[in-house]
Chain A
Amino acid sequence: MLVHGALIVTAVSILITMTLAFVRARLGPTIFDRVLALNMFGTKTVLLICVVGFLPVFDRTDFLDLALLYSLMNFIGMVALLRFSEYGSFRVENRTHEGHGKTGIGGGA
């Protein structure tokens, strides 16, 4: 009974944190604030799936596979978005004249 109460409290607090991250994604001044808030939202989604799988309403720990897949997808999407916002496009630029490849300042977003 104590364990179930603790799990319910944890699920509610994760939902509160997701709401706060959504608030920051809504009013963030720069695009990096929004990306940070989305990354945090994805991590919290993974945690929420894990905790909900342990709740006695569902009691299906098979949800952990979904959580694992979701964490990997979150990382890949995050790296793709940052690559877009660093270089301004998804394709790799020709770097022979560019030195260290730090092109595209102000090109993205």
Chain B
Amino acid sequence: MIVLELIACLFVLTGSFFSIVGGIGIVRLPEFYSRLHGGGITDTLGAGLIVIGLMMLGLARWELLTSAKLAIILFFLSVTSPASCHALAKSALVQGLKPELEINTLDSNRKSKV
């Protein structure tokens, strides 16, 4: 059981690391389609690792119903988050938002602050 709890701690801490990385990405990245990448990291990798870690924690406590509920949450998150990211990107393309290919990060951040 203590081994399972240690692995759960590792998963949860790795998930929170990726979550913070995605959060920094959504603030610092220069334009919309690259910010979408930062949001996608937190939605899939961060959420998936944290929920898997909590599932292991529930298994270590022998609470099988908790683990089943967490598995359902993981399934819904992994289905709906990429779908909503895809819908968002498609909606932006249809509305005519072009990806900016040659861009300077400092200039773009200064421009978006104004």
Q: A40-B43, A43-B42 are in contact. Are A72 and B77 (CB under 8 A)?
A: no
In the bound complex, CA of A75 to CA of B27 (Å): 23
Contacting residues of chain A (50-77) with chain B, CB-CB under 8 angstroms: 50-51, 54, 61, 64-65, 67-68, 71-72, 74-75
What's the dominant secondary structure at chain B's contact region?
A: helix
Q: Decide: B91 and A32 in contact? CB cutoff 8 A.
A: yes
Shortest CB distance A1–B (Å): 10
Min CB distance A99 to B, Å, is 13
Instruction: Tell me if A9 and B94 are in contact (CB < 8 A).
Output: no
Tell me the interface secondary structure of chain A in the complex. helix
Let me know if A33 and B32 touch, CB within 8 A.
yes
**A36 and B36 in contact (CB under 8 A), knowing A68-B73, A75-B84?**
yes
Bound-state Cα–Cα, A44 to B15, Å: 12
B42 partner, pick from A40, A79, A85, beta carbons under 8 A? A40
User: Which residues of B does A touch, CB under 8 Å?
Assistant: 5-6, 8-9, 12-13, 15-17, 19-20, 22-24, 26-27, 32, 35-36, 39, 42-43, 46-47, 50-51, 54, 57-58, 63, 66, 69-70, 72-73, 76-77, 80-81, 83-85, 87-88, 90-92, 94-97, 112-113
Residues of A within 8 A of B (CB): 2-3, 6-7, 9-10, 13-14, 16-21, 23-24, 27-30, 32-33, 35-37, 39-40, 43-44, 46-47, 50-51, 54, 61, 64-65, 67-68, 71-72, 74-75, 78-79, 82, 85-86, 102, 105-106, 108-109
A-B contact pairs, 6 of them (CB 8 A): A17-B20, A24-B35, A27-B112, A30-B97, A36-B35, A82-B87
